[in-house]
Amino acid sequence: MRNFKSISKGFFIHSTLIVVSLLSIFPFLWLLSTAMKGNTENIFQYPPVFFPEAPTLENFKGVWNQIPFMLYFFNSMVVAGFTVLLNLILSALAAYPLARMEFKGKKTVFYATLATIMIPFQAIMLPVYLIVLKLNMVDSVNSVMGYLGLILPFAVNAFGIFLMRQAFLAIPKEMEEAAFVDGCNVFQIWWKVLLPMVKPTLAVLAIFTFIGSWGEFLWPSIVLTKKALYTLPVGVNDLQGMFSANWRFIAAGSIISTIPILVFFIAMQRYFISGENDGAVKG
Amino acid sequence: MYKYYKKYVPYLFLLPAGVILVLFFFIPFFETIILSFFDYNSNIYNPMFVSLDNYLLLIKSPVFYKVLLNTFIYLFVAVPFLVIFPLIIAILINQKIKGITLYKILIYLPVIVSIVVAAIAFKWLYAQQGILNYVMALFHIPAVGWLTDPNVALYSVIIVTIWKGIGYYMMIYLSALMGVPKDLYEACDVDGADPVTKHLTVTLPHLMPTIGLVSTISSISAMKVFAEIYVMTKGGPLDSSKTIVYYIYERAFENLDLGVASAASVLLLVIVLVLSIINFVFFENKQYQL
């Protein structure tokens, strides 16, 4: 009896999770299926056919030849790469005094930083755009300024600062004092003693900042005017306009654009699904 | 504490982040409020102070009324699903079963993939002659204009937001579930409680703070949706899927109506502020204490 119960319980759990998993990936699979159907196969066929009759890579080749995916990939790498680097450095710098030092105005700095968490970017994007314009950080000036305009508004945020501060708080104070006695100055203490001890937190911050920056769509679609600086999400959205009714190409292009982040996810999966990244929760 | 640094050192460490936060958070925050009192519509190079006119304009505008209604429908439909579904899935995954990692990876996948690709994938499912309408036909339901029917479009977009968020909130629940004391479940087993009673009496009370947290952060993200709408419907048909961020975007960057866009932004600020304060006071108060 007990055995029967646990088998039926297991069956229920697995079948539910299989259905949920399939629902999670089906939209992508259907896109992939469409991308692999040749010109002779009707993609609006009733009933729909999941496995292409004659699977082909023609659509991938076709869209690859018309869309500069490598350029979009490069732009996304530059933007996400520098955004991550700046977030790590600036968050770790600002978190150190907030966790470890006493200074005038600490309370004010702390609560002012906290307040920025409550300001949604979407509500202030217009003045941010005006400021970026005033600083000439747009792609019409040159590509370096264009990149700066994409990167700097997201160079640091309060989540990162508080995440690093929590990590520093967990380090025993004796570490710094010992390093000072050994002749380290305050910058060396930060760089050589504290930073190596918070590497796991830096990794979490890096990975989640990367994902956020890589998928960002609203801001680049506001500031970018030139295709030469398009990041992948903007480039992919552009597919719709270029191949209005050619769903084979739109599907193939969307799949191509997803490959880099998929590889990244599989390589870093333990950071995403280990369930130990409490602090990395973002609103 | 033993001071090993000079007085000015803390400020040096704070400076780089401070410059960014001032330039791209504080100044724009106050500028949004200031802009909302000016009229840019008549002459964009010579804005006029109009006090609360932009706000009055919004209140009287039937489109903005619709936008607010849509935004709150979005909130009240998406949030319950995003609070309950991921919780049930997390409880199921948290049982000692085979294949946990694979399930987690597959369910988390939509979180990782760009929202633009996700929206395109759903647009294809929603096509008039698409696969979803085929499934409907199997059940003898007439074809639905998923993105073209003004009564349906908003909900079609909401489905994408829910679908993309499940994995994310599931992981939050899973890390909270690890903190539920195992012996409580064992006690239930001894008493012969069935699984449903077990979770209602042990899991739920322990997860209340997490359920609250998921409610507030999913509400905040629901207030901020943009890409799904931009890619799938552009707010249409007939403004039926237009929510507040899309409205702000349209006013600011397509109509160059900076004053009205800013007035709507101030409203968004206030709503998110209230939600954030609820979140800080009740659910995330440990991490952010001096």
Angle at B23 between CA A161 and CA B251, to 5 degrees: 110
Which CATH number is A70's domain given? 1.10.3720.10
Query: The domain containing residue A10 runs over which residues?
Result: 2-56
Q: Where is the domain boundary, A56, A80, A102?
A: A56
Total count of domains within chain A: 2
Query: The domain containing residue B244 runs over which residues?
Result: 60-282
Say if the Cβ atoms of B31 and A127 lie within 8 Å: yes
Is A42 found in the same domain as A93? no
The CA distances from residue A224 to A142, A230, B232, in Å, are 12, 7, 20
Task: At A121, list the tokens.
Answer: 């970017």
| B164 in any annotated domain | yes
Q: Which residue of A has its CA nearest to B14?
A: A94
**Which residue blocks in A36-68 are alpha helix, DSSP H?**
58-66
Q: Where is the domain boundary, A56, A71, A101?
A: A56
Q: Which residue of B has its CA nearest to A110?
A: B290
Is A129 found in the same domain as A40? no
| Sign, CA torsion A274/A277/A278/B1 | positive
CA A173 – CA B205 distance, rounded (Å): 37
Say if the Cβ atoms of B252 and A125 lie within 8 Å: yes
| B20 in any annotated domain | no
| B8 in any annotated domain | no
Is A236 found in the same domain as A98? yes
Mean pLDDT in residue range B92-109:
90
Q: Which residue of B has its CA nearest to A99?
A: B290
Is A272 found in the same domain as A184? yes
pLDDT tens digits, A121-169: 999 999 999 999 999 999 988 999 999 999 999 999 999 999 999 999 9
Task: At A55, list the tokens.
Answer: 């699977």
| B28 in any annotated domain | no
Say if the Cβ atoms of B230 and A94 lie within 8 Å: no
For residue A281, is pLDDT > 60?
Answer: no
pLDDT tens digits, A202-212: 999 999 999 99
Of A222, A275, A279, the CB nearest to B174: A275
Q: Tell me, what's the ipTM? A: 0.90
Which CATH number is B175's domain given? 1.10.3720.10
Say if the Cβ atoms of B231 and A237 lie within 8 Å: yes
Measured between beta carbons, the chain B residues lying within 8 angstroms of A175 are: none
Q: Which of A94-105 are b and which e, b meaning 16 or more Cβ less than 10 Å from the residue's Cβ? A: bbbbbbbbebee
Is A245 found in the same domain as A265? yes
Is A101 found in the same domain as A45? no
pLDDT tens digits, B173-199: 998 998 888 888 888 878 877 888 888
Mean pLDDT in residue range A109-128:
94
Say if the Cβ atoms of B175 and A9 lie within 8 Å: no
Say if the Cβ atoms of B17 and A90 lie within 8 Å: yes
Mean pLDDT in residue range B55-84:
96
Say if the Cβ atoms of A128 and B28 lie within 8 Å: yes
A183 and chain B in contact, CB less than 8 A: no
The CA distances from residue A48 to A53, A252, B160, in Å, are 12, 18, 22
CA B42 – CA B40 distance, rounded (Å): 6
pLDDT tens digits, A221-241: 999 999 999 999 999 999 988
Measured between beta carbons, the chain A residues lying within 8 angstroms of B277 are: 118
Is A134 found in the same domain as A173? yes
Is A201 found in the same domain as A79? yes
The CA radius of gyration of chain A, in Å to the nearest whole number, is 24
The whole-angstrom distance between B154's CA and the closest CA on chain A is 19
| B9 in any annotated domain | no
Measured between beta carbons, the chain A residues lying within 8 angstroms of B146 are: none
Task: At B31, list the tokens.
Answer: 């500028």
CA B247 – CA A175 distance, rounded (Å): 52
Is A233 found in the same domain as A129? yes
Choice among A170-179, B143-152, B163-172 with the minimum mean pLDDT:
A170-179
Task: At B256, list the tokens.
Answer: 């160059």
Total count of domains within chain B: 1
Which among A17, A116, A201 is the top mutation candidate for probing chain B, defined by the most B β-carbons within 10 Å of its own β-carbon? Answer: A17
Q: What is the pLDDT of residue A282?
A: 43
Say if the Cβ atoms of B129 and A46 lie within 8 Å: yes
- Rounded percentage of chain B residues whose pLDDT exceeds 90: 71
Q: Which residue of B has its CA nearest to A119?
A: B269
| B254 in any annotated domain | yes
Is A248 found in the same domain as A146? yes
| Sign, CA torsion A44/A45/A49/A53 | negative
Number of CB pairs < 8 Å for A and B?
280
Of A17, A97, A217, the CB nearest to B227: A217
The whole-angstrom distance between B151's CA and the closest CA on chain A is 23
The whole-angstrom distance between B87's CA and the closest CA on chain A is 13
| B158 in any annotated domain | yes
pLDDT tens digits, B208-235: 989 999 999 999 999 999 999 999 999 9
The CA distances from residue A30 to A20, A210, B122, B165, B263, in Å, are 16, 27, 10, 20, 42
Is A239 found in the same domain as A124? yes
